[in-house]
Each structure stands twice: as structure tokens, then as C-alpha cells.
Amino acid sequence: MNIGYYPGCALHGSSNDYDQSLKACLGALGISLQEVKDWICCGATAAHSLNHKLALALPARNLALAERDGFKEVFAPCPLCSMQLLKVRKAVADDSVRQELSQIVETELRGEAEVLNLIQVFESVGLDRLKTAVKQPLGSMSAACYYGCLLLRPPDVVKFDDFEQPNSMETLLTALGAKTVEWSYKTECCGAGMTMASEDTVLELAHKILTNAVEHGANCVVVACPMCHVNLDMKQAAVERKYGKKLDLTVYYLSDVVGLALGLSGEQLGIDRHFVTHAPTTAKTAIAAGPGSEH
């Protein structure tokens, strides 16, 4: 399977560990991620706050480049990048918009390439195939699946899962033999970019999320967004300091969990590079570790 890979700013930068995890996990499934050549910024939040056309043109160029490179599917691990691509794909259903954007980005944009998120990439491999590929069942894992904001919203753009009560990640993890918990903060905001502008906001929100996960019996959190990972993992120590409690909750990327189930090691997946880490070197110990456990 040949998927166009759009890493965006995060995956080559501060969330480089996610890039490592993805390549290891998907590589083990025979999925080759080929970077879209010459990709540019997706526009993130800055573009649409300032100029509507720019906000469409930036992801339009990326989608057009992916199509030019011959990809039928594009995978953007950051949900914001992914949502921008979906947004422009929806907009170009109007042919006059498509033509205008093609002109602006100086590349023919057909709007035909599918845009997938990580969960959809796994779904396209097939749950049955994944089940049979499991080498290390995740039986001791009790995961709180955290979706955050942009994986599911805006619903008329993203059109994936139920944006109030999602369960696509849970279905996937259950197929791999993990337990998941029903908890109340699946889709609550982590604070996103406030991590730079207003750290206290992020700490408060992250605190609520992590605490609720623990209260509902989770021994880890699973995310599919590099920003969420930063706010829940990198900032966890600051949360612990501010609120005076120990959380010690591993925050896995979804690809980490799938990779572990496939038998890859923590180092291969880059789990040892997380901030909250129990420095396990084998899959077995990685999963068995939970809040407050010794390692």
C-alpha cells in the first residue's frame, strides 16, 4: 500500500517521536509512507483567522502535490493538517473553486485523493488482518482513548465516527486484545496551542483529562494527535507539580500501541523518547507498566 505522507511541521520537529512510531508500526504492516514532495505549511490556525482564501490555498497546494505525485490516499498524522486537507477537498466539489485554487497554487487540483487519519489507515488494513498479526496481546492495557478536538470535528468536514460518543479507537484496540475504559473526557479540549500562550490553561485542562482517565480505571492514555501528546505527556510533570499529585500515566500514540501488539519494541517505536516513560525495553513491560508502578 502506497500512501502519500504529509508530516506537517510537527512530525519533523517537536513530534519527531511520532514520526518514528508511525514509520516503525506501519512499516511492519507493509505500508510505505512516502512523503509528498515539496509540501508546505497547512495553514494551521493562523491562516483561517486572517484570510479565507489563503486558508484554502495552502492545503490545496499540498493536496495538488500529492495528486501530482500519483497518490490515491494521503495520510496526515496531525488532525489539524488532516482537517485542512479535508476542508479543501470538500470545497473543490464546487468546480469554480477548484479551478480558482488550481490557478493560485499553479498545480492542477482534482480533489480526488482520499484523506485518511491514522485510525482510518488501520481500518483500511482491516481489523481481521490486524488481529491475526498480533504477536503480543495487550491484555493488561486499560486504555483511555483520547480523541481531542480535530480528529472528529467539524463533523460536516471530517465525517468520521460519532463526534459526541466516538468509539473507532476503542474498536481497534479491542480487536488487538486491549481493554478500554468508558470515560468522560474523550473529546474535551487539551488546550492545543495554548501550551505556548497560556500554559496554565493547558495544565488545568490536561489535569482534568488525565485525572478523569485514572478515575475511570485507565492505566494509560492513547492519542492520535501530536499536539495532544505534547499537552498530556510533555506537560504531565508540570501538571503534577501544579496540582500536587502523581499521575505517572503513559501517553501512547496509537501507532505505539498497534506496534507493541505487533511485537515491536519500545525503542523501535520511540516510546523511550516520551517524557512520561517507564523506560521499558520490551513490549511486555511497556504494557504492564501503569501509574505508580516500578520499573
Partner 1 sequence: MSRIGVFTCWCGENIARTVDVDEVAKQVGELPGVVCSLNYKYMCSDPGQSIVREKIASEHLDGVVVASCSPHMHLKTFRKAAQTAGLNPYLVEMANVREQCSWVHHDRGAATHKAIDIIRMSVQKVRNDRALAPISVPVTRRAMVIGGGVAGIQAALDIADAGYEVVMVEREPSIGGKMAGLSETFPTLDCSQCILTPRMVDVGQHPRIRLYSYSEVEAVEGFIGNFKVKIRQKPRYVDISKCTGCGDCWTNCPIKKNPSEFDYGMGNRTAIYIPFPQAVPARPVIDKINCTRLKRGKGCEICAKKCKAGAIDFNDQEKFVEESVGAIVVATGYTLYSIAKEQDKKSLSGYGEYGYGKYKDVIDSLQFERLVSASGPTNGVLKRPSDGAIPKNVVFIACVGSRDNAKGVAYCSKICCMYTAKHTMLYKHKVHDGKAHVFYMDIRSGGKGYDEFVRRAIEQDGANYYRGRVSKISQENGKLIVRGADTLAGMPITVEADLVVLASAMRPAPGIEELAQKLNVGYDEHGFLMESHPKLRPVETNAAGVYIAGAVHAPKDIPESVAQASAAASKVQITLAADHLFREPEIAGVSEQTCAACYTCVRACAYHAIDRAEVRTGRGVFIKHTARVNPGLCMGCGTCVSVCPSKSIELQGFTEQQIYAMVESMA
| Cα–Cα distances in angstroms (integers) from residue 178 to residues 124, 163, 171, 221, 294, in the given order | 20, 22, 10, 12, 21
- Closest CB to partner 1 among residues 103, 184: 184
Give the β-pairing of 2-5 and 32-35: parallel
Smallest separation, CB 188 to partner 1 (Å): 8
CA separation for the pair 180, 49 (Å, rounded): 37
Q: How far is the CB of 165 from partner 1 (least distance, A)?
A: 5
Q: Can you tell me which residue has the cell 488487538?
A: 176
Of 153 and 284, the one with the shorter C-beta distance to partner 1 is 153
Kindly state the helix (H) or strand (E) to which residue 243 belongs, with its residue range: helix 236-243
Nearer to partner 1 by C-beta: 184 or 293?
Answer: 184
Find, among 287, 145, 275, 122, the residue nearest to 222 by Cα.
145
> Which residues in this chain contact partner 1 in the complex, by CB under 8 A?
162-165, 184-185, 212, 215
**With respect to partner 1, which residue has the nearer C-beta, 184 or 198?**
184
Smallest gap, in angstroms, from Cβ of residue 95 to partner 1? 27
Largest CA distance in the chain: 61
Pick the closer one to partner 1 by CB: 162 or 200: 162
CB of residue 183 to partner 1, shortest distance in Å: 8
Q: Work out how close the CB of 163 gets to partner 1 at its nearest, in angstroms, rounded to a whole number.
A: 7
Q: How would you list the strands of the sheet with 220-223, edge to edge? A: 179-180, 142-146, 220-223, 250-253
